[in-house]
């Protein structure tokens, strides 16, 4: 199975650690975020992986070339222009063929069951399945009782986008992990650079995007300084 690891971000939330290295090479317990992401996805059979790079891109390429990963690794170079999450995926559309595939943020550390998530995705015939959980956040995705995406809400600004009407909305925080049907590429805009969450909201009225609630698993966004200590503890548990 195929996967893309999103690792082209500037890593501004991890400064000063990212002053000289990309966030993908920030270490936790001696393991880089990139190594952890590769190990996490490949453990569930996603062994054909494409990784996008931008910030200190040559350092990421060098790191990959000098390490013997069990997975097959391909690089998507965004050195000239950072394409955002949606644009980065669009750039490598030919990599995926007609398969359902995984999209995974490099700074996520979790023991989520990706196999179970894929099974649910296929069973529900969704175009996108989004890993979500009950946690405090400034932004939420809104789902109905059938776990179908209905909208988005910014708790700080009060901004809200509703695509599907529902008697009740269940707000869940996105975990930076997606399983996607390759038909998504037919629905993408003509622009080169765009947010994938914006794309999801644009297509959710006519297409089924569903939630995979993994609130009972361990998870942390290690892309910010205060998440690194929690990530250390999760990795210790995974290694046991």
Segment 192-208 shows an average pLDDT of: 97
Pinpoint the alpha helices (H) of 43-175. 57-66, 84-91, 114-124
Phi and psi at residue 86, to the nearest 5° = -70, -45
Phi and psi at residue 132, to the nearest 5° = -140, 165
CA 14 to each of CA 107, 121, 224: distance values in angstroms, whole numbers, following the listed order: 10, 33, 5
Residue 124 belongs to what domain range? 2-239
Instruction: Flag whether pLDDT at 238 surpasses 90.
Output: no
Query: Counting beta carbons within 10 angstroms of the beta carbon of residue 158, is it exposed (0 to 12), middle (13 to 18) or buried (19 or more)?
Result: exposed
Could you tell me the two tokens for 198? Answer: 């914006």
Query: Counting beta carbons within 10 angstroms of the beta carbon of residue 27, is it exposed (0 to 12), middle (13 to 18) or buried (19 or more)?
Result: middle
Question: Are 145 and 170 contacting, i.e. CB atoms less than 8 angstroms apart?
Answer: yes
CATH code of the domain covering residue 17: 3.90.550.10
Mean pLDDT for all residues in the chain: 96
CA 81 to each of CA 58, 77, 141, 173, 192: distance values in angstroms, whole numbers, following the listed order: 15, 9, 28, 29, 10
Segment 161-174 shows an average pLDDT of: 96
Instruction: Flag whether pLDDT at 240 surpasses 70.
Output: no
Percent residues over pLDDT 90 in the chain = 95
Residues 223, 33: Cα–Cα separation, whole Å: 9
Closest listed residue to residue 194, CA positions, set 88, 102, 57: 88
Percent residues over pLDDT 70 in the chain = 99
Instruction: Flag whether pLDDT at 103 surpasses 90.
Output: yes
Partners of 160 in beta bridges: 153
Residues 240, 235: Cα–Cα separation, whole Å: 9
CA 191 to each of CA 57, 194, 195: distance values in angstroms, whole numbers, following the listed order: 23, 7, 10
Segment 211-238 shows an average pLDDT of: 91
Instruction: Flag whether pLDDT at 239 surpasses 80.
Output: no
Question: Are 15 and 44 contacting, i.e. CB atoms less than 8 angstroms apart?
Answer: no
Q: How many domains does the chain have?
A: 1
Residue 24 confidence (pLDDT) = 97
């Amino acid at each position: 199975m195929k996967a893309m690891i999103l690792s082209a971000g500037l890593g501004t939330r991890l400064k000063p650690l990212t002053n000289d290295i990309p966030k993908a090479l920030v270490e936790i317990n001696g393991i880089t975020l990139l190594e952890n992401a590769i190990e996490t996805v490949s453990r569930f059979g996603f062994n054909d992986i494409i990784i996008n790079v931008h910030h200190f891109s040559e350092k990421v390429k060098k790191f990959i070339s000098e390490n013997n990963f069990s997975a097959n690794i391909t690089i998507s170079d965004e050195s000239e222009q950072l394409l955002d999450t949606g644009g980065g995926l669009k750039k490598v559309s030919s990599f995926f063929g007609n398969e359902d595939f995984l999209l995974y943020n490099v700074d996520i550390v979790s023991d989520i069951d990706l196999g179970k998530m894929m099974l649910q995705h296929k069973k529900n015939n969704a175009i996108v399945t989004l890993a979500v959980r009950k946690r405090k956040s400034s932004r939420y995705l809104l789902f109905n009782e059938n776990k179908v995406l209905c909208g988005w809400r910014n708790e700080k600004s009060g901004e809200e986008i509703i695509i599907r009407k529902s008697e009740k909305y269940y707000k869940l925080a996105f975990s930076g992990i997606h399983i996607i049907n390759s038909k998504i590429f037919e629905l993408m805009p003509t622009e080169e650079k765009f947010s994938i969450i914006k794309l999801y909201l644009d297509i959710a009225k006519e297409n089924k995007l569903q939630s995979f609630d993994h609130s009972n698993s361990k998870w942390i966004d290690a892309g910010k300084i205060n998440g690194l200590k929690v990530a250390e503890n999760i990795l210790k548990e995974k290694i046991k």
